[in-house]
Each structure stands twice: as C-alpha cells, then as structure tokens.
Amino acid sequence: MSSAELSVFIQALGVHTPERKLTNAELSSMVETSDEWIKTRSGISERRIAGPDENPSDMGAQAAAQALKRAGLTTADIDLLIVATMTPDVPFPSTACLLQAKLGLRRDIPCFDVSAACSGFVYALQVATDMMRSGSYRHALVIGAEKLSSVVDWSDRTTCVLFGDGAGAAVLTTTTDKHVGILGNLLGADGNNSELLHCVGGGSAAPATPESIKAGQHHLRMNGKEVFRHAVRVMTESCERVLAKCGMKSEQVAWFIPHQANIRILEAVASQLNVGLDRFPSNLDRYGNTSAASIPLALEEAWREGKIKHGDLVLIVAFGAGLTWGATLLRWHEPPR
Ligand code: ACO
C-alpha cells in the first residue's frame, strides 16, 4: 500500500486516575488559600494524587490496557509506543520503556518519551501520525501520563492548587479512508520564554545536592500571569492556523478539546474564537491541570458521555512549558464492530 493513501485515526481511548482526591478544603489547611479563591481563579475543586507506588508508567499502563480492550486489540498488535510526560518515573530509561515492560508489549517495537510539558500529548500524536503514515506501523499507543504531585512545591500556594495526577491513552490505527482521522496539525515552541514555567534542579546542569533540595530547586516554578497571557494567545492562534491549514472554519468544529489548565483560559480562547464555551468540554473541576494527561482525559470523557459522535470534527489544542503549543484537527471515526 502506498503511504500517500494512509490516514491515522484514534480507534479507542483509555484513562486512569488515582483514587485519592485532594479537595480545595484540604489544601486550605496546608497553605493560605480558600475553596472560593481556587474555584473562581481556576475552576478547580479537587485533583487526584498518586500514591508512592503509583508512577506515570503504572498509570499509563492502566490507561493503555483499557484503551486496548476497547479497541478489541491485544498487546501483540501494538507496534509503536510514545509516552508524553514531564514527570518521567526516572531520568532514564524512558517511561515508555518501563511501560512497555509493564504492559507486556512486543520486544521489537520502538518505545520513547516526548518532552513538551502540557503540549506533550499533541506533540506525541503528531510524531506517531507521521511515523504511521509511512505505512511502517499499523497500531500505535500514544499515552500522556503525569505525576505532578511529585514536582509541586506543596508550600507554594501560587502553584500547588493547580496541578493533579493521571494518565490517558489513545490507540491509533491506520486507514485508507482519507476523510477520517487526523486531518491536520501544527506544533510550535519558544524557548526564549522557558523561565516562565520551569524546574531548574535535578538535571545534568544542576544535579540534586542537599543544598539544591533545601533551596527547592527540584520544584516546578511558574509566572502564572505571563503563562496565562501566552496561553490565551497561542491557543487561539493555533486553532485558527490549523483550521486555515485544513480549509475549515470554527463553525464546523463540533468539539474543542483544550488542555485543561484554567477555566478562565478556556473562556478567553472560546470568546476570541467566537465559539460558545459549551463546545469546550472541561473536567478541570475534578482533575485540575494534569499536563500531558489532560487532553486524553478530557477527550475520553467527552466521548464516553456521548458528546463526540462518529463524523464530528474535533479540534485538540494545547500549550505548556517550553513554551510549547500545538493543535490537531480530526474527524472522529468509530470503526464498525
Ligand atoms: N490562594 C489565595 N491567594 C492566592 C493564591 C492562592 N492559591 N495564589 C495566589 N494568590 C494571591 C496572589 O499572591 C495575589 O495576591 P496579591 O494581589 O496580594 O499579590 C493574588 O492572589 C492574585 O494573584 P494572581 O497571580 O494575579 O492571580 P491570577 O488571577 O493571575 O491567577 C493563576 C493565578 C491561577 C495561577 C493564573 O495566573 C493562571 O492560571 N495562570 C496560568 C497557569 C497555567 O496554565 N499553568 C500551566 C501551564 S501548562 C504546563 O506546561 C504545566
């Protein structure tokens, strides 16, 4: 089959979120904050927190197992695995390799991580799609898995109220039907603004020492106001650009699935695109910002609740540390069973 004939679609989704819920009320006893402040400024009511033995590879494996079952596939069918994460289990090997072993995937397939923070799932989706269009891979697993609770500074009220843990997985499959699946995408980055959201310690530039840990260098730090401003601009532009690239208009999009960072960001993007907020499904209230896991979690929920239907045009859009951003336009396809 000629590679020019192949399209790639999301055949099934799976999710996993930790049992433990951390409510705004509990957070109010840890730092100087309130349920009212967190809800009105971010839209978040609670978030999930992973246990000590519940790592991104574990959560990702659970989500992938559900996606495989829903797709009617087995581990033997998967010939490519990409994991998007900014909180890998360990610096190396990749979380993808750990997950491959936990899930029992074939030993002859490529497995690797993509690091693009909250845009990670959109980046991984595009990398997988481009690899699959060549015809070399029939089924891929793309997973967003995060344990942000491990990098958050639980004494910093400006960040600790925003993040949560979880994982989402998509089974991608090739088809010769050109009118379904991923129609177009774009990715971007601006490393000049990396200091707006970063973690300076623990890498090779500043390996962990007792002093660096005491100084909190292993924690996530963020300039929330500036990130907010960039997020609204790049998410709006990314939607407009990917639509223009595909010759479509926002009116044709049934569902926008945005990275879940702050309900006010979603409101601002919807307003700038002149689209009703009811077309931006959100689960922020229950999960907070789960970084690379947020889009598959939101997409799975919108599908499971019967919002997304066969034939719908869906626009996925994200931004994150880096700064990074990305958007994917797809025609939802449910293969006959
Ligand atoms: N509880 C109570 N008060 C707080 C809290 C809190 N949790 N956090 C901050 N405040 C205070 C501030 O200290 C400030 O007080 P001051 O006026 O006395 O100085 C006041 O509340 C207002 O703070 P702002 O920072 O101006 O609040 P803002 O309305 O901008 O909301 C927020 C802050 C929620 C962080 C917002 O800026 C935001 O969501 N930014 C985007 C963050 C984001 O999306 N990050 C994820 C990026 S994706 C990735 O790659 C991980």
Could you tell me the two tokens for 337? 């069973």
Q: Could you tell me if 186 and 238 are in contact, meaning their C-beta atoms sit under 8 angstroms apart? A: yes
pLDDT digits (tens, 9 = 90+) for 258-315: 999 999 999 999 999 999 999 999 999 999 999 999 999 999 999 999 999 999 999 9
Opening angle at CA 18, ends 13 and 19, nearest 5: 120
Number of alpha carbons in the 13 Å side-chain half-sphere of residue 162: 23
Q: What is the pLDDT of residue 62?
A: 98
Cβ 290 under 6 angstroms from ligand 1: no
Range of the domain at 15: 3-178
Residue ending a domain, choose from 160, 178, 196: 178
Q: Whose CA is nearest to atom 13 of ligand 1?
A: 158
Catalytic site includes residue 333: no
How confident is the model at residue 134, as a pLDDT? 87
Write out residues in the chain with pLDDT < 50, as ranges. Answer: 1-3
User: Residue 191 domain-assigned?
Assistant: yes
Would you state the structure tokens that stand for residue 260, as one six-digit string? 């879940």
User: Is the domain of 195 the same as that of 279?
Assistant: yes
Whether 144 and 215 share a structural domain: no
Instruction: Say whether both 165 and 252 belong to one domain.
Output: no
CB distance 228 to ligand 1 below 6 Å: yes
Take atom 49 of ligand 1 and give the residue whose Cα is closest.
320
Burial label for 71, CB within 10 Å (0-12, 13-18, 19+), is buried
Residue of the CA atom closest to atom 3 of ligand 1: 33
Catalytic residue chosen out of the listed positions 16, 139, 219, 259: 259
* Confidence (pLDDT) at 1: 45
Q: Quick one: pLDDT at residue 137? A: 97
Report the length, in residues, of the chain: 337
| Of 16, 24, 55, 118, catalytic | 118
Query: Residue 4 has what pLDDT?
Result: 61
- Residue 236 makes CB contacts below 8 A (sequence gap 6+) with 268, 269, 272, 273
45: closest CA among 262, 285, 283?
A: 285
Residue 289 among the catalytic residues: yes
Measure CA 273 to chain center: 22
Same domain, 157 and 234: no
Report the domain count for the chain.
2
User: What pLDDT shows up at residue 334?
Assistant: 85
**Domain check: are 50 and 117 in the same one?**
yes
Q: Where in 39-193 does DSSP place strands (E)?
A: 46-48, 81-84, 111-114, 139-147, 165-175, 181-189
Do 20 and 99 fall into the same domain?
yes
Rounded distance, CA 297 to CA 313, Å? 18
Q: Do residue 147 and residue 201 come from a single domain?
A: no
Residues 131 and 191 in one domain: no
The answer to whether position 218 is within a domain reads yes
Same domain, 259 and 168: no
Judge if 205 and 288 occupy the same domain.
Answer: yes
Asked if residue 286 belongs to a domain, the reply is yes
Q: Provide the whole-model pTM.
A: 0.95
H/E segment holding residue 281: none
Give the residue from 293, 318, 328, 302 showing the smallest Cα distance to 16: 293
CATH classification at residue 125 = 3.40.47.10
Among 156, 178, 200, the domain-final residue is 178
